[in-house]
Amino acid sequence: MESGRSHQESFIESSTHKFILFDEPSEATLPTFKEVMKRNNCRDIVRCCEPNYDAALFTSDGINVHEMLFKDGSNPGEELIDKWLQLLKDTYINNGKQKTTIGIHCIAGLGRTPVLVAIALIEDGMKPLQAVEFIRSKRRGAFNMPQINFLKKYKPSKKKSCIIM
């Protein structure tokens, strides 16, 4: 692991997407981070925390940065979930209904980041606790109890689903 990085990136796949979960890139880790994005053909990054880097560092390379901020340790509201599901749908359709890669991060990549990925997995048909266990098997320390409780109660919406076409 590089100096300045608390967690290496983790890879999670659904039937339509490959997700790269990571902690927020710093000035020191940015070159490595950008290389991981390029190597995995990642065209979209979701930032779930306050911006601490200039999005132009990515947009200049053709990578879209999507702001989906919500409070550390908490859960996304309905509006943000709708925005997330719309991004999943749009990226899948825009990629010719082929699996596409999305990078996603918050500060440490252990709370907000895995919550959004778990929502995607649940929408894809996985049971909530299976999604939590699967993500934790790839990203140790992911989720707090309020986030797990939120996910246990989360119900996928067929009308919002990024998978049902």
Supply the residues annotated as catalytic: 72, 106
Task: Report whether 54 contacts 30 (CB < 8 A).
Answer: no
CA within 13 Å, CB half, 12: 32
**Residue 21, beta-bridge partner list:** 10, 104
Q: Which of 42, 107, 38, 41 is nearest to 72 (CA)?
A: 107
Return the number of other C-beta atoms located less than 10 Å from residue 112's C-beta: 28
